[in-house]
């Protein structure tokens, strides 16, 4: 909400500076978002007199003016305005000034060969209105040489944020009241309006919707003369961000911004029959003032006559009955609408307005007659006319809340001691009535005050929040006990590890289209049937009908979207829940880590040649690394098949602790899976079942011992074994590592060979074994003994040392 300092001072007698007022507004809970000084925008513009005006020698529509600026010799200015003439006074922008409307910096220049030393300005160029037909023509007594900002009376403009619980401050007068209560000046009394009611109101006014419109007051004014509103009103409206339109429209906007009380004026000639506040009929339409047509329903309150709807009550008037320049008779309407009803209607129509903002928060129900008289008085002062008697339909809420209050609560709840006399003064300044026994009667406009705590807030904010001392909360000494569960701690650790490995986290829906969910439904081991999915009875949409049995579908869809948009390489992961239906009909949530690698692992280049895609070994590497970070005993894991029908059978496997405990599955996705998701392959994926990772008793997972570097250097030995072709390399590696756990600390396969020199049905696997001595170095015979154990372990799997 915006308002000028001049407008505020119209209601508030104060000598405070802009900075002091701004600080006090912030202190009492009315946040100042910005302060704009129009004088800064008008710097370089001054009142000037046109001495002569001659046609331009080389342009039909231009004139060459001689302009007196009040300083030094007259200046020559080229001007294209049709109303420029000798003897007039206007506004000159000198060289160096910046035009507010377009940011153009004026400079001395030549226009068609004639020197020009500035620009005579129009209303629009100075952002003072919309008129652009000619340059500004000032009164004859305008002092030449005066800065235009000083002459125009440019006043600083405050832009404040009003919280939803303070509709009483949605007008300048309400803000002035708060400032006066806070000691920033004296609130000026409002003018009393003695309206002469010349004739009975010729229009029947009633409310047939007492729930949506409890009170509807009106009056006719005949014989008005519409036209431009006064300059003082236009200045205030412009400062508030409103575009002046005509006197009748501007007056209603002025009342709304000044007192937070929307009202409406109808062209009486465009109405037929009684004017009624009623519920709309389903399908009724109205063309609103924003030139859009809205379809209404029976839950919405409208203002209508025999011809139809004229107004979306409390939100926006209709185009059909709007006042125009030739309007002579008007019907004034001021009403109290139910805030809840206004909010529902506004949301349904997607229609926002200044009126809705105020009615939705709750206007003052006690200000109907006073508001209508004030509106009538302004119209008669500016537009003339005779007023009819006031018509009242219905009645607004009139029973004020009474709160039993204890002044000691300011210390107890607010943390600041305020003298009882000062509390009475503050409440009285805010129009609260306080009895001798501290029963506080709340003004009707203060819908937000419901109990003693709200009254404490009023007292403390006006007294000054800066008086509330900062007090540290009491807390227990020492380190706070951890609050994360072991599962949460595990997920956080794995999330950091995945991000550290260069994977990008994705968050996908927990719901899937039914076909995608069915494609990833797990196969039961005991029988060849799919797990029953959790299918929603009331899904958000058909694309979110089933709870996901796997994280891979969501990641695969995310990969497709990125690949379709030109991404060349994707490394995505997600930590979430899979939802499976147990055999007994119950539900199970399973914390899971999903990974999808798609596109190019290595881009094409002069060294690498063709691009290298991700393969199953990349998926296995991610699975092993992340399981290790999760604390799983990766050295004891078994690589087995049966990763699922969604994976390529020859390029996928599972990682297990024992034959039944599956910790993860990985590998290349099956071509049928990629076809189902319309993804160009290859794509590899990993799914780690975090709830399957066992933990030691009392621990969140397998605890790693603190690293202590060995004192002696390790010893490397290479072995090459001929093993059956169908023997998994992981089985041989595990056997070698277990041959002598006291000395063998690591082993890795570094070569696989099949071909000439290797018997049919065999393959050669080369293993590098790392031995770590303890307190003393190995002797030859000790190394030979360990080597014999390695050879013996391989022999149990059908392996023999290659010669």
Token pair, residue 256, equals 């709304």
Residue 454 annotated as lining a ligand binding site? yes
Determine the pLDDT at residue 420. 94
Q: Is the pLDDT of residue 195 over 70?
A: yes
Percent of the chain with pLDDT over 70: 97
**Residues 403, 440 contacting (CB under 8 angstroms):** yes
Question: Would you call 135 exposed, middle or buried from its count of C-beta atoms within 10 A (0-12, 13-18, 19+)?
Answer: buried
Token pair, residue 641, equals 């098949």
We find that the CATH architecture of domain 40-152 is: Beta Barrel (2.40)
Could you give the CA distance from residue 643 to residue 634 in angstroms, rounded to a whole number? 18
Determine the pLDDT at residue 697. 54
CA angle, residues 433, 436, 441, in degrees to nearest 5: 25
How large is the average pLDDT for residues 185-205? 93
| CATH 3.30.56.10 domain position(s) in the chain | 2-37+156-187, 402-463
Could you give the CA distance from residue 503 to residue 778 in angstroms, rounded to a whole number? 42
Helix, strand, coil shares, percent, the chain, to 5: 25, 30, 45
**Residue whose C-alpha is closest to residue 631's, from 686, 574, 696:** 696
> CA 82, 84, 86, 92: dihedral to nearest 10 degrees?
-160
Q: What is the DSSP letter of 466?
A: G
The answer regarding whether domain 486-692 maps to CATH 1.20.1440.230 reads no
**Residue whose C-alpha is closest to residue 195's, from 450, 27, 398, 388:** 388
Determine the pLDDT at residue 700. 47
Mind listing the pLDDT tens digit for each residue in 728-763? 888 898 899 989 988 999 999 999 999 888 899 999
Q: Where are the beta strands (DSSP E) in 458-564?
A: 504-505, 511-512, 546-547
**Residues 452, 405 contacting (CB under 8 angstroms):** yes
What class has domain 402-463?
alpha beta
Containing 383, the helix (H) or strand (E) segment is: helix 368-383
Token pair, residue 233, equals 């009103």
Task: Specify the pTM.
Answer: 0.61
175 CB contacts (<8 Å, ≥6 apart)?
3, 8, 25, 30, 160, 169
**Overall fold of domain 197-394:** Phenylalanyl-tRNA Synthetase; Chain B, domain 3 (3.50.40)
Determine the pLDDT at residue 523. 47
368 CB contacts (<8 Å, ≥6 apart)?
215, 217, 334, 335, 336, 392, 396
**Residue whose C-alpha is closest to residue 576's, from 506, 486, 489:** 506
**Residue whose C-alpha is closest to residue 356's, from 368, 345, 367, 369:** 345
Residue 448 annotated as lining a ligand binding site? yes
**Residues 110, 116 contacting (CB under 8 angstroms):** yes
Q: Is the pLDDT of residue 70 over 50?
A: yes
**Overall fold of domain 715-801:** Alpha-Beta Plaits (3.30.70)
| CATH 2.40.50.140 domain position(s) in the chain | 40-152
Mind listing the pLDDT tens digit for each residue in 378-398? 999 999 999 999 999 999 999
Q: Is the pLDDT of residue 531 over 60?
A: no
| CATH 3.30.70.380 domain position(s) in the chain | 715-801
Could you give the CA distance from residue 721 to residue 151 in angstroms, rounded to a whole number? 101
SS3 234: helix
SS (H, E, C) 8-54: HHHHEECCCCHHHHHHHHHHCCCEEEEEECHHHHCCCEEEEEEEEEE
Mind listing the pLDDT tens digit for each residue in 244-296? 999 999 999 999 999 999 999 999 999 999 999 999 999 999 999 999 999 99
Determine the pLDDT at residue 529. 44
Look at the chain and count its residues: 803
Q: Is the pLDDT of residue 698 over 70?
A: no
Could you give the CA distance from residue 379 to residue 373 in angstroms, rounded to a whole number? 10
Could you give the CA distance from residue 510 to residue 554 in angstroms, rounded to a whole number? 8
Residue 642 annotated as lining a ligand binding site? no
Neighbours of 750 (CB within 10 A): 10
Could you give the CA distance from residue 551 to residue 560 in angstroms, rounded to a whole number? 15
Could you give the CA distance from residue 640 to residue 634 in angstroms, rounded to a whole number? 14
Q: How would residue 37 be classed by pLDDT, with cut points 50, 70 and 90?
A: confident
Could you give the CA distance from residue 713 to residue 715 in angstroms, rounded to a whole number? 7
Could you give the CA distance from residue 504 to residue 398 in angstroms, rounded to a whole number? 61
- The per-residue b/e assignment along 54-75, b for 16 or more CB within 10 angstroms, e otherwise, is eebeeeeebbbbbbbbeeeebb
SS3 372: helix
- The per-residue b/e assignment along 485-501, b for 16 or more CB within 10 angstroms, e otherwise, is eeeeebbebbbebbeee
| CATH 3.50.40.10 domain position(s) in the chain | 197-394
**Residues 358, 260 contacting (CB under 8 angstroms):** yes
**Residue whose C-alpha is closest to residue 771's, from 732, 728, 742:** 742
Mind listing the pLDDT tens digit for each residue in 643-658? 999 999 989 999 999 8
Q: Where are the beta strands (DSSP E) in 518-660?
A: 546-547, 569-581, 587-602, 612-613, 638-640, 647-657
SS3 197: strand
Containing 382, the helix (H) or strand (E) segment is: helix 368-383
What class has domain 2-37+156-187?
alpha beta
Residue 231 annotated as lining a ligand binding site? no
Q: Is the pLDDT of residue 404 over 60?
A: yes
Q: Is the peptide bond before 712 cis (omega within 30 degrees of 0)?
A: no
């Amino acid at each position: 909400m915006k308002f000028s300092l001049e407008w505020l001072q119209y209601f508030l007698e104060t000598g405070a500076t802009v900075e002091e007022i701004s600080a006090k507004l912030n202190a009492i809970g009315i946040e100042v978002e910005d302060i704009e000084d129009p004088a800064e925008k008008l710097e370089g513009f001054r009142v000037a007199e046109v001495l002569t005006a001659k046609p331009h020698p080389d342009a039909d529509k231009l004139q060459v003016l001689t302009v007196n600026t009040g300083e030094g010799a007259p200046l020559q200015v080229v001007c294209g305005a049709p109303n420029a003439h000798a003897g007039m006074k206007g506004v000159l922008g000198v060289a160096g000034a910046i035009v507010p409307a377009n940011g153009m910096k004026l400079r001395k220049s030549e226009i068609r060969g004639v020197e020009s030393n500035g620009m005579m300005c129009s209303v629009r160029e100075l952002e003072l209105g919309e008129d652009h037909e000619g340059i500004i023509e000032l009164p004859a007594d305008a002092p030449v040489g005066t800065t235009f900002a000083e002459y125009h009376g440019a006043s600083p403009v405050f832009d404040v944020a009003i919280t939803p619980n303070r509709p009483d401050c949605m007008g300048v007068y309400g803000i002035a009241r708060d400032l006066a209560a806070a000691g920033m000046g004296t609130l000026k009394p409002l003018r009393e309006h003695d309206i002469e009611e010349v004739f009975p109101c010729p229009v029947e006014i009633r409310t047939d919707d007492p729930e949506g419109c409890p009170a509807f007051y009106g009056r006719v004014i005949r014989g008005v003369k519409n036209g431009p509103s006064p300059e003082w009103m236009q200045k205030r409206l412009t400062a508030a961000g409103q575009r002046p339109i005509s006197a009748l429209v501007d007056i209603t906007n002025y009342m709304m911004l000044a007192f937070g009380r929307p009202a409406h004026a109808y062209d009486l000639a465009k109405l037929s029959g009684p004017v009624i506040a009623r519920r709309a009929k389903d399908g009724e339409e109205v063309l609103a003032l924003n030139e859009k047509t809205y379809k209404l329903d029976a839950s919405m309150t409208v203002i209508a006559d025999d011809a139809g709807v004229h107004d979306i009550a409390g939100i926006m008037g209709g185009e059909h009955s709007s006042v125009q320049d030739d309007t002579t008779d008007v019907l004034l309407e001021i009403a109290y609408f139910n805030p809840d009803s206004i909010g529902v209607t506004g949301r349904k129509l997607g229609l926002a307005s200044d009126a809705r903002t105020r009615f939705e928060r709750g206007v003052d129900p006690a200000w109907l007659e006073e508001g209508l008289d004030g509106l009538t008085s302004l119209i008669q002062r500016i537009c003339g006319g005779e007023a009819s008697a006031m018509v009242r339909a219905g009645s607004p809420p009139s029973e004020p809340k009474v709160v039993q209050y204890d002044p000691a609560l300011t210390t107890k709840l607010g943390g600041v001691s305020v003298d009882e006399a000062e509390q009475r003064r503050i409440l009285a300044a805010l129009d609260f009535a306080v009895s001798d026994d501290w029963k506080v009667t709340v003004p009707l406009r203060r819908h937000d005050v419901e109990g003693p705590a709200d009254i404490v807030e009023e007292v403390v904010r006006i007294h000054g929040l800066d008086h509330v001392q900062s007090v540290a909360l009491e807390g227990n000494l020492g380190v706070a006990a951890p609050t994360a569960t072991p599962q949460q701690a595990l997920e956080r650790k794995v999330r950091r590890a995945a991000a550290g490995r260069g994977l990008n986290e994705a968050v996908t829906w927990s719901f899937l289209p039914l076909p995608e969910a069915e494609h990833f439904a797990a196969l039961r081991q005991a029988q060849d049937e799919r797990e029953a999915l959790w299918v929603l009875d009331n899904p958000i949409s058909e694309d979110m009908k089933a709870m996901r049995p796997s994280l891979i579908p969501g990641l695969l869809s995310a990969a497709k979207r990125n690949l379709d948009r030109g991404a060349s390489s994707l490394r995505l992961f997600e930590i979430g829940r899979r939802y499976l239906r147990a055999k007994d009909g119950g539900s199970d949530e399973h914390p899971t880590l999903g990974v999808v690698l798609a596109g190019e692992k290595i881009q094409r280049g002069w060294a690498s040649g063709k691009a290298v895609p991700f393969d199953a070994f990349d998926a296995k590497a991610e699975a092993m690394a992340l399981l290790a970070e999760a604390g799983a005993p990766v050295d004891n894991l078994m690589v087995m098949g049966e990763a699922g029908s969604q994976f390529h059978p020859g390029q996928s496997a599972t990682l297990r602790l024992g034959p039944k405990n599956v910790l993860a599955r990985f590998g290349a996705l099956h071509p049928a899976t990629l076809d189902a998701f319309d993804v160009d392959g290859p794509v590899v994926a990993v799914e780690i079942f975090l709830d399957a990772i066992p933990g030691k008793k009392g621990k969140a997972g397998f605890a790693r011992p603190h690293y202590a570097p060995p004192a002696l250097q390790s010893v490397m030995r290479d072995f090459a074994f001929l093993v059956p072709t169908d023997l998994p390399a992981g089985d041989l590696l595990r056997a070698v590592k277990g041959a002598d756990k006291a000395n063998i600390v690591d082993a890795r396969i570094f070569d696989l060979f099949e071909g000439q020199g290797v018997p049919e049905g065999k393959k050669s696997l080369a293993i590098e074994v790392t031995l770590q001595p303890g307190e003393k170095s190995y002797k030859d015979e000790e190394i030979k003994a360990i080597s014999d154990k390695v050879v013996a372990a391989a022999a149990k799997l059908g392996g023999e040392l290659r010669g």
